[in-house]
Amino acid sequence: HIPALSIHHGTGDAIVPYQWSEDLYEAAEEQETLSELYLYPGGKHTLDGKDWDLAMERTAAFFDAHVKNGGK
């Protein structure tokens, strides 16, 4: 069981299809795993620039809310 999952994926990723992240998110939801999915339009395999900054802000907020101190 995964307690929480935060997924970030660029739609322009030529290495890993972003559909895989959508599928993972759907599977997590079916298992009632706390999860979030963020797609970055045109983002490549390695997010950069504003996409990177936003992904890190979202990741830190998710960590603080759901992971840090046991999610309390």
Taking the model in full, what pTM does it have?
A: 0.89
pLDDT for position 67: 84
pLDDT for position 54: 98
Element (H, E) at 43: none
pLDDT along the chain (72 residues), means of 10: 88 98 96 96 97 98 87 62
Own/partner pairs, 64-71, CB within 8 angstroms, 24+ separation: 66/3, 66/4, 66/34, 67/3, 67/4, 71/3, 71/4
